[in-house]
């Protein structure tokens, strides 16, 4: 308005959405007014989800469920916006054009509706894979009715994750044969609790053969709300990388295999021959040599001097990987610090109401 003769500038949001069809759903941990700031730059249907009102929950996940801004309500909002206004209130499904497992492109026909005024096709809003069809031929649907469930294009099916997990336990076997020289073993690093699903990898920070130290960044993930690094819970040499840029990851997905120096006691393994049964026999001396101590430190939590509101373990407790060790509460959220491995708690260096910053030793030393 101040420069009417100048060329109109296009906002970043408009550039990103240029040529895209379908509704836009914005979800925020703040009030919906926060996301509404970009409403005027979004073409087409815009739905804003926010934490308007009052409420408090133990975890961020429960908070998002309470305020209806989590992934499930994002899907509900998207499906509500996807079914067009068919004029007469309801229309009959006369054809379903896809089935579970089909790969569809943006604008491909999903279903055909017939009302008293017209016959119309409902297109796919984006590329993806059909995982479930929620309608049958003959059903009557209205605006906002759910139609199908889709997975993002290129996303690994659940079966693929299970198959990958089933194959990985066999990987350490060849390394065990090399134990006589270096006394090493393989540690598999997996995605910790990142508070979201299907988070894409935007950077792989290491390559096979690299030596990594404790807390070195392995990969960088980027969700719609934050960018986060996955640190190494161990020191060692990268032997295999199981992800690449663009992969969508969830909690527990395998990231890399690291060859860790397990101490000289492991060198006793080669005394028997190579067969697998021979590896079982030396198990007793290895256990007697004593497990190693790993210190668990606070990961990057995006804030400093965050108070501890609960210590979830005691000395002597047997803990599993991803078990909660302590609970922190900042002025914006409550978060748990999970264990990166399985073991026994040997010492606890924090107490409730103490304040912790990034990378200070906080929760437990455990034998693994």
* pLDDT digits 0-9 by tens, 138-197: 998 877 778 888 887 665 545 444 444 444 444 443 333 334 445 688 888 998 887 788
Q: Are residues 144 and 200 in the same domain?
A: no
Q: Are residues 251 and 186 in the same domain?
A: yes
CA distance 98 to 59: 38
Query: Which of 167, 207, 188 is CA-nearest to residue 252?
Result: 188
Confidence of residue 84 (pLDDT cuts 50, 70, 90): low
DSSP collapsed to 3 states, the chain: CCCCCCCCCCCHHHHHHCCCCCCEEEECCCCHHHHHHHHHHCCCCEEEECCCCCCCCCCHHHHHHHCCCCHHHHHHHHHHHHCCCCCCCEEEEEEECCCCCCEECCCCEEEEEECCCCEEEEECCCCEEEEEECCCCCCEEECCCCCEEEEECCCCCHHHHHHHHHHHHHCHHHHHHCHHHHCEEEEEEECCCCCCCCEEEEEECCCCCCEECCCCEEEEEECCCCEEEEECCCCEEEEEECCCCCCEECCCCEEEEEEEECCHHHHHCCCCCCCHHHHHCCHHHHHHCCCCEEEEECCCCCCCCEEEEEECCCCCCEECCCCEEEEEECCCCEEEEECCCCEEEEECCCCCCCEECCCCEEEEEEEC
State how beta strands 24-27 and 46-49 pair: parallel
CA distance 254 to 164: 8
pLDDT digits (tens, 9 = 90+) for 35-80: 889 888 888 788 899 888 887 778 888 888 888 889 888 888 888 7
In a domain, 165, yes or no: no
In a domain, 258, yes or no: yes
Domain enclosing residue 235, as ranges: 170-273
pLDDT at 337: 84
Strand order in the sheet with 324-329: 334-338, 324-329, 306-311, 355-356
Cβ neighbours, 10 Å, residue 86: 19
- Tell me the average pLDDT of the chain: 76
Residue with the larger pLDDT of the pair 269 and 13:
13
pLDDT at 146: 82
Q: Are residues 22 and 129 in the same domain?
A: yes
Output the domain CATH number for residue 254: 2.40.50.100
Residue with the larger pLDDT of the pair 363 and 310:
310
pLDDT at 273: 46
Could you tell me the maximum CA-CA distance found in the chain, to the nearest angstrom?
A: 86
Domain boundary among 98, 126, 152: 152
pLDDT at 241 over 90: yes
Residue 145: alpha-carbon gap to chain centroid: 28
In a domain, 278, yes or no: no
Q: Are residues 309 and 266 in the same domain?
A: no
Q: For residue 244, with 0-12 CB atoms within 10 Å meaning exposed, 13-18 middle and 19 or more buried, which class applies?
A: exposed
pLDDT at 210: 92
In a domain, 139, yes or no: yes
Query: Which residues, listed in sequence order, are joined to residue 189 by a DSSP beta bridge?
Result: 256
Q: Are 47 and 74 in contact (CB under 8 A)?
A: no
Cβ within 8 Å of residue 275, ≥6 positions away: none
Q: Are residues 89 and 178 in the same domain?
A: no
pLDDT at 342: 83
Token pair in block for residue 159: 């079966």
Q: Are 93 and 136 in contact (CB under 8 A)?
A: yes
CA distance 292 to 227: 32
In a domain, 285, yes or no: no
Q: What is the mean pLDDT of residues 90-112?
A: 88
Q: Are residues 24 and 146 in the same domain?
A: yes
Q: Look up the pTM and report it.
A: 0.27
pLDDT at 16 over 70: yes
In a domain, 161, yes or no: no
Q: Are residues 145 and 263 in the same domain?
A: no
pLDDT at 181: 46
Q: Are residues 50 and 126 in the same domain?
A: yes
In a domain, 164, yes or no: no
Q: Are 107 and 123 in contact (CB under 8 A)?
A: yes
Residues of the chain with pLDDT > 70, as a percent, come to: 76
Tally the domains of the chain: 3
Residue 111: alpha-carbon gap to chain centroid: 31
pLDDT at 271 over 70: no
CA distance 243 to 258: 14
pLDDT at 205: 92
Domain boundary among 100, 125, 152: 152
Confidence of residue 228 (pLDDT cuts 50, 70, 90): confident
Q: Are residues 178 and 243 in the same domain?
A: yes
pLDDT at 166: 44
Q: Are residues 242 and 318 in the same domain?
A: no
pLDDT at 332: 73
Residue with the larger pLDDT of the pair 346 and 275:
346
pLDDT digits (tens, 9 = 90+) for 294-349: 888 887 776 778 888 888 888 888 888 888 888 888 777 778 888 887 888 888 88
pLDDT at 349: 83
In a domain, 7, yes or no: no
CA distance 142 to 83: 8
Cβ within 8 Å of residue 14, ≥6 positions away: 41, 43
């Amino acid at each position: 308005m101040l420069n009417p003769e100048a060329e109109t500038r296009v906002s970043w949001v408009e550039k990103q959405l240029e040529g895209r069809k379908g509704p836009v759903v914005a979800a925020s941990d703040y009030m919906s007014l926060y996301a509404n700031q970009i409403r005027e730059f979004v073409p087409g249907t815009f739905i804003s989800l926010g934490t308007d009102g009052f409420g408090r929950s133990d975890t961020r996940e429960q908070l998002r469920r309470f305020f209806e801004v989590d992934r499930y309500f994002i899907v509900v909002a998207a499906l509500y916006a996807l079914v067009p206004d068919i004029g007469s209130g309801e229309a009959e499904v006369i054809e379903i054009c896809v089935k579970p497992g089909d790969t569809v492109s943006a604008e491909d026909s999903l279903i055909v509706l017939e009302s008293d005024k017209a016959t119309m096709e409902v297109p796919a809003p984006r590329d993806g894979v059909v995982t479930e069809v929620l309608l049958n031929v003959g059903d009557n649907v209205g605006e906002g009715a759910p139609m199908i469930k889709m997975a993002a294009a290129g996303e690994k099916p659940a079966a693929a994750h299970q198959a990958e997990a089933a194959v990985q336990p066999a990987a350490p076997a060849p390394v065990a044969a090399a134990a006589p020289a270096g006394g090493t073993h393989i540690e598999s690093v997996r995605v910790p609790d990142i508070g979201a699903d299907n988070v894409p990898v935007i950077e792989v920070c290491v390559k096979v053969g690299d030596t990594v130290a404790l807390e070195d960044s392995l990969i960088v993930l980027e969700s719609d709300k934050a960018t986060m690094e996955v640190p190494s819970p161990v020191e060692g040499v990268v032997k295999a990388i199981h992800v690449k840029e663009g992969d969508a990851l969830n909690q527990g997905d395998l990231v890399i295999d690291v060859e860790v120096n397990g101490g000289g006691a492991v060198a006793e393994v080669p005394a028997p021959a190579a067969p697998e049964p021979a590896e079982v026999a030396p198990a007793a001396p290895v256990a007697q040599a004593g497990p190693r101590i790993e210190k668990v430190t606070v990961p990057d939590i995006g804030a400093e001097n965050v108070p501890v509101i609960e210590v979830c373990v005691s000395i002597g407790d047997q803990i599993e990987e991803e078990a909660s060790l302590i609970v922190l509460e900042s002025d914006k959220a409550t978060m748990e610090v999970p264990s990166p491995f399985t073991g026994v708690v040997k010492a606890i260096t924090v107490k409730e109401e103490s304040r912790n910053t990034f990378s200070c030793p906080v929760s437990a030393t455990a034998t693994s």
